[in-house]
């Protein structure tokens, strides 16, 4: 493998080499017409034994000379993929109906000539200024009724029919233009579509009313779903409907439907773009940088993703290894394809970066089953909204030490392709995650009581269940249990799943009846699909499956304790539910409460078992329960590693990643060699800070 030294030590020499490479490499570029006509050179989907390292690239910021220089540096770094086109609608269509692709043809051909594949992003957001000027309905209207100029990214009303028509025309022209370009390896849709804005125009209200008519049919059904009898808010007709206010105030049922409406809008745009891809580029997959959990709007990804996603992909900017892995696996769902990081951490907002950090996260990505990473972004931006988000090239165009770090990643990944990477995971455990529970567990409004009840947040509780599994090096899927099959899993964990609709309840019932094991935690199955509390015993729709009824819940002064497997568990939490078993057996009781009510129960239902934990899903409370269930369910733990080291076995070898700033020792039997480091380890693998190795 190439030895990599800090770039600063040889910067002038490397810049000279890069310039020379530009002259040598670019001179052999094929003409646009030649590459466009070579339909037989289409790549198939990225397959087994292929890893990709590259960058996001915005050539609209660069002169032709700078582009040549940039490509030479990419070539030096062994990059084999770039992502281009995103955020650039008006560069392809500067005026309505006038497309200018010739400038991009040249760049596409240069990438192809240098062995660099392209993820071609359809830039449906943000919309160009000319579109806003031509069609005022594309403008965002604030809750106050004020028109908001499109000053920032994503300030587009993507439900507007003029927007829908124009974005489809642009997408059709773009995909037809590059349908047979041999550089294209995938297509992406509407960068970060979930991060857009809600709009409050009269046209938006009418579209919301049309959506409600389709969903509920009659005003009577809508009144029942929205509980409008409460506080004299009955609707005599659909025309009485106002757009609920995302920022509040407002009852939770309406807030719930507001988010579902905008979710359906986003999903409709994605499906429309996917239909265009399938029509014009049927052999090219979709690998899109979507943001379903964005706070401004978001969308219900996990119940719909298979209708517009070929590979789960995201922008990967982890605050820590656990939350980073959690977010990445949420984009994968139960897809059989690997994960892609369409944006990958190099620095951050005002954070230049730490040597070795990106490489560590690249290897953590391989642990999770990643196939490709594209550093954001190649050249640090001089203007716009991300001026202090530092890429491999500094603001003056000088390559930073990051070029060498990503070159090292690319070099090592190329070697690892012959050792079973990317990993194709087969998770033993699934964790339930629901957009509905995410939205309805934290509705708006000053009079809402759910916020007081639901703490910590739903997402924190789902991650609390994920953390002990990831620390135990157990592959885990994060899925929507009402839409994805539960059959492949030995254990399904349902943490704080506040909303239980009929499909989810039926799926859990069938899974347990047929021999599966479910672990549910407190705060689950409290409300139905309309956000109204069940008027039947809780957990709603499932009391017979779990063999119990939950009633009161209480806070206590000291952290709750319970005994399990001969040990006292300090749960670290202070809130619990009162469980009243019917057919369920009590596995453990709280030892430091006055009533000593059950902490854990198990109910044998059909051929399977349903376990209930009467506390919030915090790692300290749920981890001992999961440990108890591994043997019972046959879930196999991964390699044993110290705190902060994660590992997976791949084709008989073990990949270890030290995510900490300290040296770590991992006990092994005998003497083994590290493939990445070429070290010989006797009785222990010794990993320096942020270091990784693949051990035979």
Closest by Cα among 579, 451, 591, 608 to 519: 608
pLDDT at residue 564, as a whole number: 97
CB-based contact 399:14 (threshold 8 Å): yes
Residue 635, class by beta-carbon neighbours within 10 Å (0-12 exposed, 13-18 middle, 19+ buried)? buried
* Percent over 70 (pLDDT), the chain: 93
Q: Are β-strands 680-687 and 664-673 bridged in parallel, bridged antiparallel, or unpaired? A: antiparallel
**Residue range 84-96: mean pLDDT, rounded:** 98
pLDDT at residue 446, as a whole number: 63
Query: Six-digit token pair at 176?
Result: 């037809």
pLDDT at residue 26, as a whole number: 37
Name the band, by pLDDT with cuts 50, 70 and 90, for residue 7: very low
Name the band, by pLDDT with cuts 50, 70 and 90, for residue 451: low
The predicted-structure confidence for 276-334, as pLDDT tens digits, reads as follows: 999 999 999 999 999 999 999 999 999 999 999 999 999 999 999 999 999 999 999 99
Query: Alpha helices of 340-486 — where are they, by DSSP H?
Result: 357-368, 401-416, 435-440, 450-453, 458-471
pLDDT at residue 532, as a whole number: 95
- Poorest-pLDDT segment among 28-32, 367-371, 602-606: 28-32
Task: Judge whether residue 247 has pLDDT over 80.
Answer: yes
pLDDT at residue 249, as a whole number: 82
pLDDT at residue 49, as a whole number: 86
pLDDT at residue 555, as a whole number: 93
Name the band, by pLDDT with cuts 50, 70 and 90, for residue 672: very high
The predicted-structure confidence for 519-566, as pLDDT tens digits, reads as follows: 999 999 999 999 999 999 999 999 999 999 999 999 999 999 999 999
pLDDT at residue 47, as a whole number: 75
> What are the chain's domains?
7-200+243-419 (3.20.20.80), 429-633 (3.40.50.880), 645-695 (2.60.40.1180)
Distance CA 439, CA 260 (A): 9
pLDDT at residue 3, as a whole number: 35
The predicted-structure confidence for 207-236, as pLDDT tens digits, reads as follows: 999 999 999 999 999 999 999 999 899 999
Per the prediction, the chain carries an average pLDDT of 93
Task: Judge whether residue 622 has pLDDT over 50.
Answer: yes
The predicted-structure confidence for 648-657, as pLDDT tens digits, reads as follows: 999 999 999 9
Please give the model's pTM, rounded to 2 decimal places: 0.93
Name the band, by pLDDT with cuts 50, 70 and 90, for residue 452: low
pLDDT at residue 31, as a whole number: 35
The predicted-structure confidence for 483-516, as pLDDT tens digits, reads as follows: 999 999 999 999 999 999 999 999 999 999 999 9
Name the band, by pLDDT with cuts 50, 70 and 90, for residue 1: very low
Over the range 528-537, which residues count as b (16 or more CB within 10 Å of their CB) and which as e? bbbbbebeeb
Task: Judge whether residue 443 has pLDDT over 90.
Answer: no
Distance CA 94, CA 601 (A): 64
């Amino acid at each position: 493998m190439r030895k990599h030294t800090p770039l600063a030590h040889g910067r002038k020499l490397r810049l000279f080499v890069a310039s020379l490479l530009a002259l040598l490499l670019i001179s052999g570029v094929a003409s646009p017409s030649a590459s466009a006509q070579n339909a037989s050179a289409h790549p198939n989907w990225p397959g087994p034994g292929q890893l990709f390292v590259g960058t996001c690239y915005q050539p609209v910021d660069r002169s032709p000379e700078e582009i040549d220089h940039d490509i030479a540096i990419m070539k030096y770094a062994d990059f084999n993929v770039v992502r281009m086109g995103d955020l650039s609608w008006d560069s392809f269509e500067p005026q309505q109906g006038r497309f200018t692709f010739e400038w991009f043809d040249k760049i596409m051909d240069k990438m192809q000539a240098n062995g660099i594949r392209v993820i071609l992003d359809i830039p449906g957001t943000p919309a160009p200024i000319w579109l806003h000027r031509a069609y005022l309905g594309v403008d965002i209207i604030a809750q106050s009724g004020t028109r908001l100029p499109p000053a920032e990214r994503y300030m587009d009303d993507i439900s507007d029919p003029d927007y829908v028509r124009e974005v489809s025309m642009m997408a059709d022209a773009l995909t037809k233009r590059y349908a047979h370009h041999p550089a294209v390896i995938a297509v992406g849709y509407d960068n970060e579509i979930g991060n857009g804005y809600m709009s409050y125009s009269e046209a938006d209200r009418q579209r919301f009313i049309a959506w409600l008519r389709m969903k509920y049919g009659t005003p009577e059904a809508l009144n029942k779903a929205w509980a409008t009898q409460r506080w004299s808010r009955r609707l005599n007709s659909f025309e009485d409907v106002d757009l609920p206010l995302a920022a509040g105030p407002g009852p939770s049922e309406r807030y719930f439907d507001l988010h579902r409406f905008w979710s359906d809008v986003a999903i409709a745009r994605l499906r429309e773009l996917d239909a265009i891809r399938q029509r014009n580029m049927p052999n090219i997959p979709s690998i899109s940088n979507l943001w379903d959990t964005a706070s401004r709007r978001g969308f219900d990804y996990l119940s719909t993703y298979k209708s517009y996603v070929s590979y789960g992909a995201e922008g990967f900017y982890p605050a820590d290894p656990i939350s980073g892995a959690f977010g990445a696996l949420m984009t994968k769902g139960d897809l059989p394809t690997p994960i892609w990081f369409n944006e990958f951490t190099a620095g951050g907002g005002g954070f230049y970066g730490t040597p070795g950090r990106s490489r560590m996260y690249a290897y953590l990505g391989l642990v999770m089953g990643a196939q490709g990473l594209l550093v954001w972004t190649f050249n640090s931006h001089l203007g716009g909204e991300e001026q202090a988000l530092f890429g491999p090239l500094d603001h003056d165009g000088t390559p930073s030490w990051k070029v060498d770090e990503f070159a090292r990643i690319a070099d090592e990944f190329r070697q690892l392709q012959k050792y079973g990477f990317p990993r194709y995971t087969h998770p033993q455990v699934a964790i339930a995650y629901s957009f509905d529970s995410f939205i309805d567990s934290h509705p708006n409004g000053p009079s809402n009581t759910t916020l007081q009840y639901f703490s910590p947040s739903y997402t924190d509780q789902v991650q609390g269940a994920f953390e002990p599994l990831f620390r135990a090096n157990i592959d885990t899927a994060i899925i929507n249990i009402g839409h994805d099959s539960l059959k492949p899993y030995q254990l399904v964990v349902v943490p704080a799943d506040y909303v239980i609709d009929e499909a989810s309840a039926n799926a859990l019932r069938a899974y347990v009846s047929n021999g599966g094991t479910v672990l549910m935690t407190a705060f689950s199955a409290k409300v139905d699909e309309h956000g109204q509390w069940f008027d039947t015993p809780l957990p709603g729709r499932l009391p017979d499956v779990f063999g119990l009824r939950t009633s009161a819940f209480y806070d206590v002064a000291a952290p709750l304790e319970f005994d399990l497997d001969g040990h006292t568990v300090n749960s670290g939490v202070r809130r619990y539910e009162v469980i009243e078993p019917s057919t369920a057996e009590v596995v453990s009781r709280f030892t430091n409460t006055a009533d000593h009510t059950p902490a854990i129960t198990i109910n044998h239902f059909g051929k399977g078992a349903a376990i209930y934990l009467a506390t919030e899903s915090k790692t300290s409370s749920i981890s001992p329960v999961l440990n108890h269930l591994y043997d019972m369910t046959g879930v196999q733990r991964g390699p044993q590693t110290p705190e902060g080291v994660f590992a997976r076995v791949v084709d008989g070898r073990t990949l270890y990643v030290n995510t900490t700033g300290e040296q770590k020792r991992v006990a092994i039997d005998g003497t083994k060699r590290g493939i990445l480091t070429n070290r010989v380890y006797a009785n222990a693998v010794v990993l320096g800070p942020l270091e990784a190795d693949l051990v035979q």
